[in-house]
Structure formats: C-alpha cells, structure tokens
C-alpha cells in the first residue's frame, strides 16, 4: 500500500512527543477488513518504507485518524523530514 501523508506530532505528555503519519481512510478501511492478529491497543505489525529507509513497527487505530504510523527519529533524520512535511510511505501488513 502506497500513499503520501503529512507528518504530525502527538504530545503524549508535557515532555514526550511522537511523530506520526495518518493512513488514508480507504487504506485504513482495507486494513480493518484484513482481519488477522491484533496486538495491544488493536495494533498490527507492519513493514514500512519511506525514501531509502525500511523498518518494522506497528500501526495503531486512532479514532480521529483511522490507523496511524509512528515515524521514528532515525528515519526522520535520515530522510530529512520534519513535522508538516509530506512523505511517500509504503506499508506492508505482516503476520496475516
């Protein structure tokens, strides 16, 4: 699944922030329909590619955003991405 998405910040606490992209609604719907094993918080394991960076992580359902994907600092640094930038993302669901 390929899509373009803007990086945004979620503030967990006063000192913690996380950077995410939201999966488009149609892709979130498609993932929900896949079934398969769910982990804590309804998360699903995925492999992700942004630019030249590939990694494994989990996507999480978040009511206002469908599924969201955390983009770790090492990837943002390697790909020169900041919140507000748009990234081309490829997501492959694992463990189906």
Q: What per-residue confidence (pLDDT) applies to 10?
A: 84
Range of the domain at 74: 2-93
Q: How far apart are CA 23 and CA 61, in angstroms?
A: 10
Alpha carbons within 13 angstroms on the beta-carbon side of residue 32 total 13
Q: What is the 3-state secondary structure (H, E, C) of 27-77?
A: HHHHHHHHCCCCCHHHCEEEEEEECCEEEEEEEEEECCCEEEEECCHHHHH
Total domains present in the chain: 1
Give the pTM. 0.85
* pLDDT tens by residue, 7-60: 999 876 666 788 999 999 999 988 888 866 667 777 899 999 999 999 999 999
CATH of residue 69's domain is: 2.40.30.100
Quick check: helix, strand or coil at residue 82? coil
């Amino acid at each position: 699944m390929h899509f373009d998405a803007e990086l945004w910040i979620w503030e967990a606490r006063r000192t913690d922030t996380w950077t995410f992209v939201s999966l488009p609604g149609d892709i979130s719907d498609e993932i929900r329909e896949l079934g398969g094993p769910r982990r804590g918080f309804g998360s699903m394991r995925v492999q992700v590619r942004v630019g030249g960076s590939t990694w494994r992580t989990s996507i999480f359902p978040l009511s206002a955003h469908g599924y969201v994907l955390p983009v770790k600092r090492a990837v943002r640094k390697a790909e020169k991405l900041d919140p507000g930038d748009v990234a081309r993302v490829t997501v492959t669901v694992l463990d189906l």
